[in-house]
Amino acid sequence: MGRPGDLARGLAMLTLGAALTVAQPPQGEEDPVKFGPVPTFPPQGEPYEPREVLRSMEKPHQLLGILLAALVVLIASGAKIGGGAVIDAVYILVLKLGPDEAIPLASITVFGGAVCDFFLNLWKKPINSNFPLINWDFMLMMQPMLLMGAAFGASMISWFSTWLLTIALIVYLVYVGKKAFKKARAVGHEEGWRWCSSGETMSLLGAPSMSFQDDDGSFQYKSGLPWRKLGINFGIFTATVLLTALQGGNYFPSPLGIPPTSFFFLIVSMLPFIFLSVVSHYQMKDVVATIQRQQNPRFILAPDEVQLSPDSVRKMPLRLLGIGAIGGAFGVGGEGATSGLLRGFNFTPAAVSAMSATAVFFVSGMASFDFFLWGKLDLNLAKFLMPLGFMMTLLGRLCLIKIVRKAKSRALLLFAIAAAMFISILPLSFMELRAVFGF
């Protein structure tokens, strides 16, 4: 961690590669080459026309798809686990959408839930502490790479074919389904379910459970907020969004008047990556200085400060980039992976829950804006699904989670999500085989 120059060069190469990928024109087109994530932009005067299958919410399969998505968000929020991959599958299998249409809608649904989580966690603080539950200094260190990864991952749906996106989603469902099943068994063992426990360690149903230790009396609400740190975090997010908007998109031209065929469009498309790379570089320089300061034997750790070490942060930028890329590529937010990273820094369970939800807010927000900008987001459904995600998350956090805590039945919700993931794999695989082999 003592060589920030190597990190700067690595970030510069990553920025150039990401920008070239985003700006790479599609091959085999007869139309003039146009740079950007969207191969061609429709005429600016052309009105927005959603797919015929999405023009009415009265069709039975559409109503069923919306109800299933609402149920998934409710159960996932009550179980405190990400459900974005299941929402992808619901939109593909029930709403009959392609992956390039379902993923943006899943992203905006997750973003609606993340907005709810953000406001619920914003006012929390640990008991016997005057500091907020969310460590905004650490969030500031995480955010640049998360946003860069989210933008890069979101661009993948423009370049990957439908069959490749479906295969990638199936692989992702297998991976997260396996992790959800293991988590369900662990929580079931804590809650005393007989079929999750070994013979000699089996506990009685109703025994105290640690599965909700992150939100059961380990925090309280406060009125004060670190406005300066909040402003810096949201300033970086807003600046990234504005720099991305300079490219123009499906609904408005570039504010700079640069056509997609211009070489300067490539430079403009690189601006968000350059900005985030510079911010991340200076953040990592501060991390190096913090590590050196903490290694002093006379150093005393502040109550709101995190103990850092070279081993704990060496691979963190790449991990954050990967979390953001997967979250953007599948519209899932990456809450589980972020939680795993934060637990490695010895945050309390309550802080891990709040900070991972905040990371989902930034990742899904960045990805959803990119999908909107590139015309991949169906606005007719998005304006309905985002409030749906908000309301179902609010209901799950305030009501379902209390019922589950009293009944010691969080494991059942986790098993339900894991089962939905594995069940979704079968029809998705069959659909893919039928599309490839034509039977």
pLDDT tens readout for residues 9-62: 554 555 545 544 444 444 444 444 343 444 434 444 444 444 544 444 447 778
The type of residue at 298 is R
Q: What is the number of other CB atoms lying within 10 angstroms of the CB of residue 309?
A: 12
pLDDT at 136: 92
pLDDT tens readout for residues 88-144: 999 999 999 999 999 999 999 999 999 999 999 988 887 777 788 899 999 999 999
Q: In the chain, where are the structural domains located?
A: 60-437
> What residue ranges of the chain have pLDDT lower than 50?
1-4, 7-8, 11, 16, 19-50, 52-58, 199-214, 216-217
pLDDT at 26: 41
pLDDT at 253: 87
pLDDT at 202: 40
Q: What is the number of other CB atoms lying within 10 angstroms of the CB of residue 243?
A: 18
Of 126, 142, 113, 123, whose CA–CA distance to 351 is shortest? Answer: 126
Q: For residue 48, what is the DSSP state?
A: P
Helices (H), 246-373: 263-294, 310-313, 316-330, 335-343, 349-373
Tokens at 272, concatenated: 């968000």
Rounded Cα distance, 29 and 27, in Å: 6
